[in-house]
Chain A
Amino acid sequence: MRASGLVFVWTMLAIPIAQFIVFWLVPNFDSLLMAFQNPSVDGLTFMNFQRFWHELTLPNSTLVIAIENTLIYFAVHIFIGMPIVVFIAFVLFKNVPGGKFFRVLFYLPSIVGGPVTAGIYRYLVSTGGPVEAILTWMHIPFDSQLGLLGNPETAFLMCIIYSLWTGVGINMIMFYGALNRIPKEIFESAKMDGAGFWRQFAQIAVPLIWPTITTMLVFLMSSIFTTYSCVMLLCPQTPQADMIGWYIVRYTVYTSNAAGDEVLNYPAAVGFVFTLIGFPLTLLVKKVCEKISSTVEY
């Protein structure tokens, strides 16, 4: 390439790369460094990790609750949410009556965004709302003093239900799109060979859209310790409904507002620990998914 071309290339790249260094590389590297620093000592220290360990071993530790909730949330989404959405996409693909209407409507919650859906959901499940009316009609006790979100016992359950209720859209569109890219002849010939509905689903549809499923699973896994929107939007003050992602943001924002930068070290250390756990976990899921797809023959 001529020199003028090279000059052009790096002129175009200079500002975005500088932006990337300042707004991505530096803060991430700084977080890593902060995890090993503490204003009370010079040099590097393991103090923040000692505090992490201490918080873990406390009785009724909020950190342990946050970890448990995170695992529950992701188990529900991976083993219940994801399969249901794959199946929904397949039924829509098979032309259920009103399919187009359903597709658009299921996608709507993702369009209007978290604050709006959470704002509405809050009222649906609060005292005097429709959910209380239905539960009372079904003779299920409802604590109208606290409401479902105010009650620490049920708060996190309500967060999970909210995330499932509003979370069908994007994955459904992905799987539906993937199904539509499968050549129709495959389903036709399978049908001729006598493959029924369930066999078409399990032995043709799922294996053929497995790459898309893998992608969505890997994205889900990589966000495991950074997901917090449902908790932040619905019950940010309830320790029993905490998640790791929110735990870190909460510590970053609340404590630093109160005491300046120095207390950012603890959330940075927590983040570091969960990066160390999350990274191999994501890779593992990716490897396992790819292994499964390589054993499928079609």
Chain B
Amino acid sequence: MTFSRTNHQILRKERHFEWASRDIHEKIVIMISFVIFALYSATLLFAVLWVAYNSLKTARAFDTNPFSLPDITDLQWSNYAQAWKADVKGVTILEAFWNSIWMSFVSVVLGLLASSMTAYVVAKYHFRGSKIIYAVAVFIQIIPLVGGVSGFYKLVWSDLQIANDPFLIWPMWFGGFGFSFLILVSAFKSIPWDYAESAFVDGAGHFRVFWQIMLPMVRPVLASLFIVNMISAWSEYMTSYLYLPDYPTLAFAVYELSTEAVRVGTPLYFAIIIIAMLPTLILFTVFQKMIMENTTTGGLKG
């Protein structure tokens, strides 16, 4: 959906849904809904603000009164300095932060690379099996396989013995038939083949056409998939839990500490929570429009 068309639609909609032209039922429902939405929003905002301002208290001040605002003359910024050094199963939060960065980056880039390769040939080449590949990819999105985790666990820990190794685990992320594949197939399909045709005439090989001509043309789709996948990879905790226990991500650290936050002290734990959510909040604020539209259209094709 192009930018101008979206704006145009919104304009049209605003003209159409004039308040005065609504019937009385609609006005009442809208007003009641507004109140409920506001209340629900208040719980969400309060939750974040409560955690944020309590992260600037001393542990004792929190225990005395968890609702009062922190003493403005004595804000405990030191909680944030200490948070980086807090320990989760022998790993500091700083190290966990680094684990989150490399793990989300590597897993997302590998996944997108594999998906671009598979999606490109399935979308652009006619060969025996391409329809089957697409059908299988759709099928595994909705098939409710339940026991797979046991087999996967055995595979990673004892058959392949790649668990708990920050490099050997990489092939696990090189999956080319997931959700990104389906999105990229339709992205490649919408690009005319003429560009490739003329490049072939000029003597370019198949791989060069893919890498230097076709791939750059789906850059907007790749970019939004990258952002969306990075955001969900950032809160990934099952990988650490199941396959890389010695490399906890920040999200996993937040999970681990939630049951033993007494040890580190509540305000310090809140500071860790704030640190964990800031990167996604920043990404979301910057790319908000792109993310929400991507979610919408993703559902269309999924």
Please tell me if A249 contacts chain B, counting CB pairs below 8 Å: yes
Residue with the highest number of chain A CB atoms closer than 10 Å, among B34, B146, B231, B254: B146
Q: Does B237 contact A (CB under 8 A)?
A: yes
Interface string of B26-67 (1 = CB under 8 A from A): 100110011001101101111110110000000000010011
Which residues of B (3-36) have their CB < 8 Å from a CB of A? 9, 12-14, 16-17, 22-23, 25-26, 29-30, 33-34
Residue B78 at the chain A interface, CB threshold 8 Å: no
Question: What residues of chain A lie closer than 8 Å to B273, measured between beta carbons?
Answer: 116, 119-120
- Inter-subunit contact B284/A108 (CB<8 Å): yes
User: Are A120's CB and B16's CB within 8 A?
Assistant: no
- Complex Cα gap A160–B29 (Å): 27
With beta carbons under 8 angstroms apart, the residue of A95, A96, A121, A174 that contacts B14 is A95
What sequence of 0s and 1s flags, for each residue 125-158 of chain A, a beta carbon within 8 Å of any chain B beta carbon? 0001110010000000000000000000000000
Which B residues touch A98, using CB under 8 A? 34, 37-38
> Chain A: which residue is nearest B295 at the CB level?
A173
Q: How far is the CA of A226 from the CA of B51 in the complex (A)?
A: 31
A188 is an interface residue with CB less than 8 A from chain B: yes
* A7-40 to B contact mask, C-beta < 8 Å, 1/0: 0110011011101101110111111101100000
Residue among B16, B25, B154, B234 making CB contact with A30, cutoff 8 Å: B154
B161 in the interface (beta carbon within 8 A): no
**B114 to A, closest residue via Cβ:** A16
Interface size on B, residues (CB 8 A): 98
Which of B114, B118, B144, B300 has most chain A Cβ within 10 Å? Answer: B144
A residues 140-196 in Cβ contact with B at 8 Å: 165, 168, 170, 173-174, 176-178, 180, 184, 187-188, 196
Assess A95 versus B149: contact at CB under 8 Å? Given A197-B26, A224-B144. no
**Size of interface on A: residues with Cβ below 8 Å to B:** 107
Q: What is the interface of chain A, defined by CB distance below 8 A to chain B?
A: 1, 4-6, 8-9, 12-13, 15-17, 19-20, 22-24, 26-32, 34-35, 88, 91, 94-98, 101-109, 111-116, 118-124, 128-130, 133, 165, 168, 170, 173-174, 176-178, 180, 184, 187-188, 196-198, 212, 215-216, 218-219, 221-226, 233, 244-245, 248-249, 252-253, 256, 261, 264-265, 267-272, 274-275, 278-279, 281-282
19 new A-B contacts, CB < 8 A, other than A4-B205, A113-B277, A177-B295, are A6-B127, A12-B117, A16-B176, A24-B177, A26-B151, A91-B30, A94-B17, A106-B44, A115-B235, A129-B66, A173-B292, A173-B296, A177-B296, A180-B9, A197-B23, A270-B146, A272-B147, A275-B146, A282-B144
23 chain-A/chain-B pairs, Cβ below 8 angstroms: A23-B155, A27-B152, A27-B155, A96-B30, A96-B33, A96-B34, A102-B37, A106-B41, A111-B280, A113-B235, A114-B251, A116-B235, A119-B257, A124-B50, A130-B46, A184-B13, A197-B23, A221-B144, A225-B146, A256-B153, A261-B154, A272-B147, A275-B145
Chain B residues within CB distance 8 Å of chain A: 9, 12-14, 16-17, 22-23, 25-26, 29-30, 33-34, 37-38, 40-41, 43-48, 50-51, 63, 66-67, 114, 117-118, 120-121, 125-127, 133, 140, 142-155, 157-158, 160, 171-172, 174-177, 205-207, 210, 231-232, 234-235, 237, 241-242, 251-252, 254-255, 257-258, 266, 269-270, 273, 276-277, 280-281, 284, 288, 291-293, 295-297, 299-300, 302
